Amino acid sequence: MTTLNFSHLYATTLALCNQELDRNPMSPLIWSVRGYTLVYLGEHVEALLSCDRALALDQNLAHAWYSRGLALVALDHHAEALTALNKALELDPNRAEAWYNCGLAIAALGVAEEALAAFNHAICLNPKLAGAWANRGLALASLQRYAEALLSYNRALLLEPGYAKAWSNRGVSLAALGRYEEALSSCNRALSANSTLGAYWINLGNILATLERYEEALESFNRALDLEPNSAEALYNKGALFFKLGNYRETLLFCDQAIALEHNNAVYWQTRAITLYKLGQFVGSIFSYEQALELDSNLPQAWFGKGVAAYKIGHYAQAIACFAYAQALGLSDASKFISILSKKV
């Protein structure tokens, strides 16, 4: 009911903006408010155009830069969003929501430390911003600071007890801390609040798989895929579950489906490589390791695995080179394989 009321409010605001612009098309503020309203109506491209009209009239209108940033975040244009939000903050540095959305854009670009700083700034300006606390937790978790992440999620949930995303990600951090029963409870709270998002089912499935409750885990991944059939993450995790069960052909099937949807994921390629090795397909395994390493060359286990597969087909020099890379990246076990293989070359 609340969502419907807000939708009605935004629709009414849009109509009023349009009426006002008919009378005064040169008002940058009305164009900006129109753009902001369109963001919340899900019309992100139209919102962007409206913000651009505002900025053509007034380059120093902080609200227009902020609204433009919101539209770009929603369109997943995170680098452009960051530029717009930074401009908004130059003009109005005390807007907590701008710092929060800046954090979202930075996090999407994979820079967790900077995202954390932005969320901290937002919280300093508005400590009641539940989204900032929840996404601060996510940034901390990506830095493997799980205990701190848990505290941040707890603050978010004090402010907004029905915050499903915070409950689900809290469960992931609890699992990382080895507190599995609490993790399951947290994930189930998320699903009680919102059972329509695949990611929440995936998080539950991963914890169940860790607890070796494989049938329940499979059911969770299937629920995720019922909701989002093209979820590469759900397909991959279903495949990883079959790997734990020793069903490597099913693993390969689901890895291939995940890769078809998300070709640039090094983890998917690495799991595919390991699976092919288990199936005795060493040349295919090497190819998949190479795909993984092309995407991320700092994967010691991938270098090591490629070395083992190369050894299996008698490519000893290639194997030694791979083990050397693995050792350089901190995998000390690789040294004994280098010593053994050096006698064969």
Q: What is the pLDDT of residue 75?
A: 95
Average pLDDT of the residues in 76-100: 96
Average pLDDT of the residues in 28-33: 96
| Residue type (1 letter), 160 | E
Q: What is the pLDDT of residues 254-310, one digit of tens each?
A: 999 999 999 999 999 999 999 999 999 999 999 999 999 999 999 999 999 999 999
| Residue type (1 letter), 131 | G
**Is residue 83's pLDDT more than 60?**
yes
| Token digits of residue 317 | 């020099």
Chain-centroid distance, C-alpha 245: 27
Q: What is the pLDDT of residues 214-232, one digit of tens each?
A: 999 999 999 999 999 999 9
Q: Is 280 left (phi over 0), alpha (psi -120 to 50) or beta?
A: left
Q: What is the pLDDT of residue 290?
A: 98
Residue 107 has, within 13 A of its CA and on its CB side, a CA count of 23
Q: What is the value of pTM for the model shown?
A: 0.88
Q: What is the pLDDT of residues 127-146, one digit of tens each?
A: 999 999 999 999 999 999 99
Q: What is the pLDDT of residues 153-175, one digit of tens each?
A: 999 999 999 999 999 999 999 99
Q: What is the pLDDT of residue 344?
A: 65
What band does 104 get if pLDDT is binned at 50, 70 and 90?
Answer: very high
**Is residue 46's pLDDT more than 60?**
yes
Cβ atoms of 58 and 64 within 8 Å: the answer is yes
Q: Give alpha helix (H) positions in the chain.
A: 2-23, 28-40, 44-57, 62-74, 78-91, 96-108, 112-125, 130-142, 146-159, 164-176, 180-193, 198-210, 214-227, 232-244, 248-261, 266-278, 282-295, 300-312, 316-328, 334-342
CATH placement of domain 264-345: 1.25.40.10
Cβ atoms of 307 and 315 within 8 Å: the answer is no
In angstroms, rounded to a whole number, what is the distance separating the alpha carbons of residues 69 and 75? 10
